[in-house]
Chains A and B, each alone.
Chain A
């Protein structure tokens, strides 16, 4: 039985990675998780320069989920390359660097800077709902998404994964747009924009007013969107959104995801990624699947 998956020419040991922003660069989780058991580590988004992020409160709990508006706080690409890549490289896992920016130039600068770094894939975040400029500005318009994909592909030496927003009318159209722009893979879904109000203080719970909703509450929405995207494009889909167990991950794979990312569940079950990988393996045994690819998109 083969747990390996090939995502845009990069072979992962298993189909499990983490959703950007929920795992730092892995260091904080290394006490709880054997990083060698992840197919890939997807890092917290990194920009060309350090970003301060949003004011606090940055998070709130919601029913079977949470909201965040961290605002892509990050240390900037220089410190990231110096500290985080060497740390992750010690492990037998692939490195996917999530890239954020406020303009096309910002994204391209980071992608170009990473061209000679020892990382395996790039994930371009055009879907963060929590920063005013950039991010989502590219992720809600098919033309803008295609253009930014083309732009970063000019500088990228590693396969490019475009991370899509669910806050769109047609996820299929967005997936097709980035595929047309040259994306080597797509990942989805990022968080759904939400709002929570503190009725005692009579104001917004989050300083940013709105935030991205994540966690098990959004899983059915994510499965539907993964299904629609996977049926719209030929490039691999990395499925995420509320995965908290192997069963949740298998749903995504059967819907069309070639790999899966665990996000919010890391916050309340730090060892969840290993449980998901083990659970996929035992499901494959029980159901007689020889390889992960045999399961991908089986439900049509």
Chain B
């Protein structure tokens, strides 16, 4: 039985779910005209609260809310000049009407960028770029029995996915370390919820795959986000059972827009952009069909 740890040392911030912009910049054009359409935005923190130990929720007033889709992420910048790189954080909720995005993120340690985010208050300026990456193809679930699976700090992006998904059976399977099951209430408003905890304090003891087995759940499409060992187990399960499966991957990144080639994953086929068996998680992902990638 697949087991994985979401221990504190694991790279659990979604440092890899950066992504390219849905409108591909390599599209053909006749002239080299200026086509600047994107910029770093000085967004504003709308509210912030702590949900669990080390887990924070921030609503941000941002233009990124206009076009964001579930599974995309934003590159968030600290206001500390010694921390240069953006933190790619996946989008947890989209409130298009009010121009707001919600991110739920984990503070990864003392003096980290995420700790700085956690100290920000309503009205503070938070520079960001987004939305970035390709989201979950939510429409593919129409008429199907779906698993929406999240583990650890991969749980938050599953919420907006659950809110937008129209399908025959919406089974939300989320894994936590312990009884601090953040976002549980919101999930319960949006589907059937199955929980696993590593310590067994809530739901199935073990991981999300254990929860599926214990509850004898079935699906014909899977959407998942979480630590790589979890995604690896889900990929194996999906492919063994011929289930269409979309995985949101993570990797350390620098630019977030597909230029630096830091956040690559192995692809099954030669990628058309890289011309090798590498795909950019930020630009070509972070969501991939499980059969496209090797993890």
* Residues of chain A at the chain B interface (Cβ within 8 Å): 21-24, 27-36, 44, 50-53, 56-61, 63-66, 68, 70, 73-76, 79, 83, 87, 89-92, 198, 200-201, 215-216, 264, 266-271
**B144-152, B153-161, B197-205, B249-257 - the one binding chain A:** B249-257
Partner of A267 from B30, B82, B85 at Cβ < 8 Å: B85
B24 CB to nearest A CB, Å: 9
Interface of chain A: mostly helix, strand, loop or mixed: loop
The answer to whether B262 touches A68, judged by C-beta atoms less than 8 angstroms apart, is: yes
The answer to whether B260 touches A267, judged by C-beta atoms less than 8 angstroms apart, is: yes
The answer to whether A267 touches B255, judged by C-beta atoms less than 8 angstroms apart, is: yes
List the A side residues contacting B164 at CB < 8 Å: none
Report how many A-B pairs have Cβ atoms within 8 Å: 151
The answer to whether A269 touches B251, judged by C-beta atoms less than 8 angstroms apart, is: no
Instruction: List, sorted by A's number, 7 A–B pairs whose CB atoms are closer than 8 Å.
Output: A28-B283, A31-B25, A59-B260, A89-B32, A90-B32, A267-B85, A270-B39
Identify the closest chain A residue to B30 (Cβ).
Answer: A90
The answer to whether A27 touches B25, judged by C-beta atoms less than 8 angstroms apart, is: yes
> B119 on the interface (CB 8 Å rule)?
no
List the A side residues contacting B82 at CB < 8 Å: 63-64
Tell me the complex Cα distance, A83–B275, Å: 12
List the A side residues contacting B86 at CB < 8 Å: 267-268
Tell me the complex Cα distance, A248–B24, Å: 32
The answer to whether B275 touches A50, judged by C-beta atoms less than 8 angstroms apart, is: yes
List the B side residues contacting A76 at CB < 8 Å: 275
The answer to whether B257 touches A28, judged by C-beta atoms less than 8 angstroms apart, is: yes
List the A side residues contacting B36 at CB < 8 Å: 30-34, 271
B106 CB to nearest A CB, Å: 14
Partner of A52 from B31, B129, B252, B276 at Cβ < 8 Å: B276
- State which residues 233-264 of B face A: CB under 8 Å: 251-264
List the B side residues contacting A22 at CB < 8 Å: 255, 259-260
* Residues of chain B at the chain A interface (Cβ within 8 Å): 8-9, 11, 20-21, 23, 25-26, 29-40, 77, 81-86, 129, 251-265, 273-278, 283
Tell me the complex Cα distance, A56–B32, Å: 34
The answer to whether A28 touches B276, judged by C-beta atoms less than 8 angstroms apart, is: no
The answer to whether A70 touches B40, judged by C-beta atoms less than 8 angstroms apart, is: no
A21 CB to nearest B CB, Å: 7
Tell me the complex Cα distance, A264–B259, Å: 11
Known contacts A59-B254, A266-B259; decide if A201 and B9 are in contact (CB<8 Å). Answer: yes
The answer to whether B84 touches A28, judged by C-beta atoms less than 8 angstroms apart, is: no
List the A side residues contacting B32 at CB < 8 Å: 35-36, 89-92
List the A side residues contacting B276 at CB < 8 Å: 50-53, 73, 75
The answer to whether B252 touches A57, judged by C-beta atoms less than 8 angstroms apart, is: yes
List the B side residues contacting A269 at CB < 8 Å: 40
Tell me the complex Cα distance, A268–B75, Å: 9
List the A side residues contacting B21 at CB < 8 Å: 31
The answer to whether B259 touches A23, judged by C-beta atoms less than 8 angstroms apart, is: yes
Tell me the complex Cα distance, A58–B81, Å: 22
List the A side residues contacting B256 at CB < 8 Å: 267
Identify the closest chain A residue to B129 (Cβ).
Answer: A270
B174 CB to nearest A CB, Å: 25
B84 CB to nearest A CB, Å: 5
The answer to whether B259 touches A24, judged by C-beta atoms less than 8 angstroms apart, is: yes
A82 CB to nearest B CB, Å: 10
List the A side residues contacting B264 at CB < 8 Å: 53, 56, 58, 73
List the B side residues contacting A89 at CB < 8 Å: 32
Known contacts A31-B37, A34-B34, A59-B253; decide if A267 and B84 are in contact (CB<8 Å). Answer: yes
Tell me the complex Cα distance, A86–B23, Å: 20
Partner of A29 from B8, B30, B257, B283 at Cβ < 8 Å: B257
Q: Given A31-B38, A36-B32, A58-B264, output 6 extra A-B contacts at Cβ < 8 Å.
A: A23-B259, A44-B261, A56-B263, A59-B254, A270-B255, A271-B39
Identify the closest chain A residue to B38 (Cβ).
Answer: A31
Tell me the complex Cα distance, A29–B262, Å: 16
Tell me the complex Cα distance, A216–B22, Å: 31
Tell me the complex Cα distance, A75–B273, Å: 7
Identify the closest chain A residue to B265 (Cβ).
Answer: A56
Tell me the complex Cα distance, A251–B46, Å: 40
List the B side residues contacting A68 at CB < 8 Å: 254, 260, 262
Tell me the complex Cα distance, A143–B84, Å: 38
